[in-house]
Amino acid sequence: MKVAIFIFSGTGNTHFIGRKLQDEFRVNHIFCDLFTVEKKHNDDQIINDYDVIGLGYPIYGSDVPIPINNWINGLKTHSQKKAFVFCTQMMYSGDGAAYGGRLLEKKGFVIRQQAHFNMPNNITDYKIFRPFNKHDLIKLEQKKTKQVNKFVQKIIQDKRCRKGSNPISLCLGLLQRIPYQKMEMKWVSNSIKIEGNCILCGKCIDICPTDNFQIIDGKLVTNNSCIACYRCINHCPVNALHSSKKSLVKNPYKGPEKKFIIENVMKDYLTTVE
């Protein structure tokens, strides 16, 4: 069996789970490659070349991120191709993985497994969310390793497990998704605020998945294409970026691992040996 996993990761949580999935497949002697949707590939050809396809993303208001939605919309129909979906979330998303699964089903995929992985909060400029940003990285590693191992075994054994597909999860997902989608159009795209202490280092330009930043006449400006991934906000070296009108970032989220390198979320990870 050959597995290809496609992910989008804002600040590293989905990347963390994606790499763990890849490692666990390899432990079980299964060829697995990890691709980011931020890079341009011949994704339809990749899908044809693999037996099982995985899709992973962070949840935004029980919705899939715009890069994932665009990626799915750009695919051709892949009739009866087996697939699994996983999402990362702060607490509860209702049908977070199931929603992405339904989008894939419209492209012909057969969704066999869906999973939700609770991960640390990366929304660091709103006081209501800050308490959830406290976490023990060692315990996080141990807990998610166990969850990933169980999920991979279900995929290998082709056991059907579709988290979030029941009617209650669907209703709870809709309660979050409908208002978020309306807010996304009106507020999210131009939500980034830039403080005067910006040092024009250009890191936000390098890591933004939507090319939202540029420097014009010695000043950092946005192109109003933000998707609220919080990558730039948490990795600005001087905490000059934020989304909240009332508060700044005091304790940025640097990722789910010690010495995490944010640029890694934009890389593909290919296996070299079957």
- The CATH number for 128's domain is 3.40.50.360
Residue (of 8, 7, 5) closest to 208 by Cα position: 8
Report yes or no: 112 and 54 within 8 Å, Cβ to Cβ. Answer: no
Residue 257 lies in a domain: no
The pLDDT, as a whole number, for residue 148 is 97
Mean pLDDT of 231-247: 92
- Domain of residue 229: give its range: 190-242
In a domain, 185, yes or no: no
Distance CA 83, CA 90 (A): 24
**One domain for residues 167 and 204:** no
Query: Does the structure show a pLDDT above 80 at 91?
Result: no
Give domain status of residue 62, yes or no: yes
pLDDT at residue 53 above 90?
A: yes
Phi, psi of 59 (to 5 degrees): -95, 130
Let me know whether 81 and 197 are in one domain.
no
5 bridge partner residues: 34, 54
Give the pairing type, strands 213-216 and 219-222: antiparallel
Confidence check: pLDDT of 218 > 60: yes
Decide if 8 is inside a domain. yes
Residue 108 in any domain: the answer is: yes
- Count of domains observed in the chain: 2
133 vs 201 pLDDT, higher one: 201
**Full-model pTM:** 0.92
Task: For residue 272, tell me if it sits in a domain.
Answer: no
Instruction: Please write the tens of the pLDDT for every residue from 18-38.
Output: 999 999 999 999 999 999 999
